[in-house]
Every structure is written in structure tokens, then in C-alpha cells.
């Protein structure tokens, strides 16, 4: 009987937010992984539960490597997320090295999966181009992200692991407002927000429109026509917007999220969530 030959192993350690993808007992701990042949480092990283769009730096035996690195027996592999700078285990000489995560589009634009409808509306409220279709298939979401250079926001790590997805983020929280805070912080959105400039229904741009052009459309809203002079119209679906009773509530949310009241003043005349027919 032939002696059993042990399989080669490599030791992984995940840092920072990447531990969110691991079982509690594995977080911050070395993980010994057996392997056959010479697998790609990103293949084993994803097999351990971490999607490649979240990985910004891979250090093997104290040396940074690319996503195409082939693992060798005995390798010590440290994996970092976007907040890698200054983390324990990162070579000091690598602190300023460009990361593996591509630069996000400027201006920021998104595509969201079917679980994130409220987040899509919030992002549109802040003025960010956010494609959303609750019935869109995973193939379509991945394709839109890749072809249009959109950041894929999802609650499905399997979707994020698809090879064509380069820009993506797994939304951690399940509360829509906290999700918005999470995404605003992750992508630095506060400084470029243009609140109330985009239609929360269809994602189209809201354009100023003369009161006379909406009088007929708002014939069933006599109080609106009596008390408001400023209106906007979505260039996509034609919805009419005005600074109605919901405006202050939504303005408070925007101030809370972006923490810059000047942004409200800059866009105040572009309406709020009140559209024609809403009470």
C-alpha cells in the first residue's frame, strides 16, 4: 500500500473589511488551504468567499502580486480590501502602490440588483445615475456593469464573483438608509452629489420647466398651482416635480447623508419626491 502524500498548502490571512465575507471564527486568523496543481491566487481567494472586485492588494511572502499569480506550496498570502493603507501586514514600501481595484467612473454611476430598489431611489435622489430593474437577470446586471463601466451594487456575492465584473461592491447592511451611508462613504459621493436633479422613478434628468407648461398636467392639483411657482420635468418619463410637503423631510435626509447643507441650496429649485398625482 502506497504511503499517503499530503497535498501542498498555502496560508491566507484576510484584512479589514474582507473579513466580512468570512465565518466569525476565521476572521483575522490564518486559513490553511490545500490545493492541487498550481491554481490562480484569485481562484482560491474567491473559493474562500471573497469576491475579486473587493480585493485591492495581494501580498505573497511579503511581495505584492497580481491577480494572475499562481500559488506555490508554502505561500503566505495576505489579502487586503480598499482600506488597505496602514494595515498590519502590508509592506510599508507598498503604501502608495496603485491598487488592484480599478478607479471608479467619474461621475459615479451605478447598476443595482433587484434587492436594492430603495437604495437606487436614494442614489437617484442624490443625483447619481443609477440603473435599476427589479426583474433584471444576473447576466444582464454583470453585462451592464462591464459594458457601461458602472459600479455593481449587490447583496449577492455570487453575482460579484462573475469574471466580467471589475467594479463592484457587496452592500453589507440590510437597512436602505444605512446602505446609502455605506455607499456614500465607500465611493466618496458627498462632494459630488446633486440632490433632486434626477428622477427617482426612471433615473432621467429633471429639467426646469415653466409653470405654464405644466398647468394642464396639474389641473387636478389646484393647491399646487396656487402655491408653487417652481417646477421640474423628467426628461425621461415626463414626471412633474415641485418643492412640496415632502421636500423638507427629504432635505433633512440629504443633509444627514452628505453633511453639506450648501448642496441643498444649490439645487433647491429642482423639486423633490412629490410628482404629479402623489398626495
Cell numbers describing residue 96? 502608495
Separation between Cα atoms, residue 256 and residue 279, nearest integer Å: 25
pTM of the predicted structure, to 2 decimals: 0.86
Place of cell 465607500: 186
Model confidence band, residue 95 (pLDDT cutoffs 50, 70, 90):
low
Both ends of the chain: CA-CA distance in Å?
Answer: 81
Give pLDDT tens digits for 142-153.
Answer: 999 999 999 999
pLDDT over 60 at 10, yes or no? yes
pLDDT over 60 at 278, yes or no? no
Give pLDDT tens digits for 46-58.
Answer: 999 999 999 999 9
On average, the pLDDT of the chain sits at: 87
- Mean pLDDT, residues 110-132: 97
pLDDT over 70 at 134, yes or no? yes
| CB contact set of 71 (below 8 Å; sequence gap of 6+) | 10, 35, 38, 39, 40, 41, 44, 60, 77
Q: Phi/psi zone of residue 88: left (φ > 0), alpha (ψ -120 to 50 degrees), beta?
A: beta
At 87 the pLDDT is 55
Q: Choose between 262 and 44: higher pLDDT.
A: 44
At 202 the pLDDT is 97
- Mean pLDDT, residues 152-169: 97
Of 237, 236, 238, 230, nearest to 267 (Cα)?
230
Report in angstroms the alpha-carbon separations of 230 from 243, 270, 272.
7, 8, 11
Strand, helix or coil at 123?
Answer: helix
Cell numbers describing residue 130? 443609477
Model confidence band, residue 112 (pLDDT cutoffs 50, 70, 90):
very high
- Mean pLDDT, residues 1-26: 89
194: number of Cβ within 10 Å? 16
Separation between Cα atoms, residue 164 and residue 42, nearest integer Å: 14
Model confidence band, residue 90 (pLDDT cutoffs 50, 70, 90):
low
At 111 the pLDDT is 98
pLDDT over 50 at 173, yes or no? yes
Model confidence band, residue 224 (pLDDT cutoffs 50, 70, 90):
confident
At 223 the pLDDT is 76
Separation between Cα atoms, residue 152 and residue 174, nearest integer Å: 17
Contact by Cβ (8 Å): 91, 64: yes
Amino acid at each position: 500500500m502506497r504511503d499517503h502524500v499530503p497535498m501542498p498548502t498555502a496560508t491566507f490571512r484576510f484584512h479589514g473589511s474582507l473579513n466580512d465575507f468570512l465565518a466569525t471564527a476565521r476572521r483575522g486568523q490564518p486559513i490553511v488551504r490545500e490545493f492541487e496543481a498550481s491554481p490562480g491566487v484569485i481562484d482560491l481567494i474567491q473559493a474562500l468567499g471573497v469576491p475579486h472586485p473587493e480585493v485591492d492588494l495581494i501580498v505573497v511572502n511579503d511581495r505584492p502580486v497580481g491577480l494572475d499569480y499562481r500559488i506555490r506550496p508554502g505561500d503566505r498570502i495576505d489579502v487586503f480590501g480598499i482600506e488597505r493603507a496602514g494595515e498590519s501586514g502590508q509592506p510599508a514600501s507598498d503604501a502608495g502602490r496603485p491598487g488592484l481595484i480599478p478607479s471608479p467612473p467619474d461621475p459615479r454611476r451605478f447598476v443595482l440588483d433587484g434587492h436594492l430598489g430603495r437604495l437606487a431611489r436614494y442614489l437617484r435622489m442624490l443625483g447619481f445615475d443609477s440603473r435599476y430593474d427589479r426583474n433584471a437577470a444576473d447576466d444582464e446586471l454583470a453585462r451592464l456593469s462591464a459594458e457601461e463601466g458602472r459600479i455593481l451594487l449587490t447583496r449577492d456575492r455570487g453575482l460579484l464573483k462573475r469574471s466580467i465584473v471589475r467594479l463592484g461592491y457587496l452592500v453589507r447592511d440590510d437597512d436602505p438608509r444605512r446602505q446609502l451611508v455605506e455607499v456614500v462613504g465607500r465611493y466618496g459621493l458627498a462632494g459630488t452629489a446633486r440632490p433632486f436633479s434626477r428622477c427617482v422613478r426612471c433615473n432621467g434628468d429633471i429639467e426646469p420647466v415653466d409653470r405654464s407648461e405644466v398647468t394642464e398636467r396639474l389641473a387636478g392639483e389646484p393647491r399646487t398651482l396656487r402655491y408653487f411657482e417652481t417646477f421640474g420635468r423628467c426628461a425621461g418619463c415626463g414626471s412633474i416635480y415641485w418643492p412640496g410637503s415632502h421636500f423638507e423631510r427629504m432635505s433633512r435626509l440629504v443633509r444627514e447623508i452628505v453633511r453639506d447643507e450648501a448642496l441643498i441650496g444649490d439645487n433647491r429649485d429642482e423639486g423633490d419626491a412629490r410628482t404629479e398625482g402623489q398626495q
